[in-house]
Structure 1
Amino acid sequence: MPNDFNQQIIDEFRARHGRVGDHFEGARLLLLTTTGARTGTPHTTPVGYLPDGGDRVLVIASAGGSLRHPDWFHNLRAHPRVTVESGVFTYEARAVVLDGEERDRAFARAVEADPGWAAYQEKTDRVIPVVALYNIAEGGPGNISAGSPGEAIRAVHDAFRHELALIRKEMADGNGSTLGAQLRVNCLTLCQGLHNHHTGEDTVLFPHLAGLHPRLAPVLERLRTEHEHIADLVERLREAVSAAGTDPAAARAEVERLTNELEAHLTYEEEQLVPLLDAV
């Protein structure tokens, strides 16, 4: 069972689709459920994570710099299949402990994004493990934690808003002269997520709604056109953070441009579609 402090975070995380306050306000958190190495019972723990693009995220077994690995790390070593809750999606994942240079590169990115990880490493003689959680695709990105289709759309949209807010903050908190490796990964992961989401809407959700509500044709056409425009902005951001010698100011400008355009798009989509989806 989680301790009282962790249980409060878990409850708030689930109630607010991944958002928590106080000390963890604005942090990247997920809920990791492992199977007890000795007991075989499930254990859920809030952990910080790093976006890593593609089909995986990274978690770090820091235990606050403790001399011992956290219990959840021992559990996933014994039972590598775990459950991940992102606040929006819940999915099964395969845990792989990174070794050697791959681990060191990932940990260096973590330290670059948050020096607190280095402080934890300095407190202990153990090498703090980095674990990759690979999404085990089972027909989609995972179950959406929502009570209705309309709530699901809002939850996914809010996840993009939250990620953009974090990226903007990270850019503002940087030293201004470079664009860090982890920040590049965060931007590229966001780009891929937006592409996947809009592709799913264009190919599945919008045709479904068009069949149910023919009068929505102008709305859906506008949304598809906006998807194309946002795709152009996403590509501009991708190019800005991928190019050698990237100007951080140029990258920040692209993030601001994408944020403003995407917010207007998400708001319009919610106004037009959420009432219909909730009615269903």
Structure 2
Amino acid sequence: MHVITSDINLNDIWTAPIWPESIYAPALAILQSRTHNGQTASGAGGSREVAFEKCLSETAEILALADQKTDYVSVTDGLAAHPDAKIARHHAQLEALQRKFILDWWAGACPAEYLSDDWLDAAQVTAFVDRARAGATVYRKTQLWHLACTLPVHCMIACSTNRMGQDIILGFGTATDAASAAHLAVTEVMLMELNLYSVMAARGGYRHPDTARIEAIIDEYAKRHGALLSDRSANEASLASGTTHDLSIAMPAHRLIDLTPHPKSRPVWLCQLDDKRIVDVLRPDHPFMAQ
């Protein structure tokens, strides 16, 4: 059992942590490390402090799952860690909803609506992306879509492409206000762009064991891009309707499970929706690259 605290001796949980600099977003702070059980934890944000806390939280999630037997399914369930247990539960609920909405969208059941440059400017999303991509040696175009969700959350899809509109990478973000969801989505898409390194290496003759899975998902992005990310504009007036109400009141039937391994450890919570779909994770029939 690992007790994760903000002042933990990192040698107890991490092996060779690194701060990789993305050629696509060199000013985005990214921290990655192998955990002692062989998995990779990542964190990204506008500062190293934010990236560190996110990476530590993801480590807490990984180790909590390793310590306890659960029926956790990464494609459908929400999992979150945070120093504040209430926030950890909230984030787990948001992630479970995000999985549901994104899977519905992927199946063609939830439309995505395009967000204008004016809205992105007003929400400070453009400025955040421009800062992160300042000094990039390889250009990536970033666009955002908003899913037509019925609950008091906003689910966003960020899409980045090269100059020719190829090598599509997607990132997702969900929050109770639209601007926060958009910032989460663009942060994730810039983090997911690191997967392009192995793809480019494979094209040069150096193949990584996970490259085939990544290439298959990118190919699937390209096939579905036109149908699922339309040019229909979002009703941007509705994006001001975010709420901070307790999601437990408005969420569909679900269960929350406390996976925190020790009272002094960073809280970890799991959220499972009762109507979660069964997904064959062996094929690229879901859009989640970080599995």
Question: Structure 2-normalised TM-score?
Answer: 0.28
**Which has the bigger relative contact order, CA under 8 A and spacing at least 6?**
2
The structure whose Rg is larger is 1
Of Structure 1 and Structure 2, which has the larger fraction of its residues in strand? 2
Question: Structure 1-normalised TM-score?
Answer: 0.29
Of Structure 1 and Structure 2, which has the larger fraction of its residues in helix? 1
